[in-house]
Amino acid sequence: MDRNPDFEQGRVELAAAYAQLGRTDEATWEAEQVLLSNPDFRISENAVARGFVDEELKTIYVDGLRRAGFPE
């Protein structure tokens, strides 16, 4: 994120990964950064836009976003 801190999707995916790894503080911080620049961010819209084919991977991703603190 050092090279492009404004790359929103990178922060979103990093937050989901951190959350799944139990790195709650980092996940929450990444989510807060996204929500500061995009207060309209919603899990439901993002998950659809990602175009997951594998429902199990989508479930894991969405769970990570929830754990990071993103709004539904």
Each residue's pLDDT tens digit, 13-68: 999 999 999 999 999 999 999 999 999 999 999 999 999 999 999 999 999 999 99
Quickly count: other Cβ atoms within 10 Å of residue 7's Cβ.
Answer: 12
Tokens coding 20: 């799944």
Residue 6 clears pLDDT 80, i.e. is over it: no
Distance of CA 54 to the CA centre of its chain: 18
Query: What does the alpha-carbon distance between residue 46 and residue 51 come to, in Å, rounded to a whole number?
Result: 9
The pTM assigned to this predicted structure is: 0.88
Domain boundaries, the chain: 8-68
Predicted pLDDT at 4:
61
- Residue 70: which of 5, 4, 8, 21 has the closest Cα? 8
Quickly count: other Cβ atoms within 10 Å of residue 62's Cβ.
Answer: 19
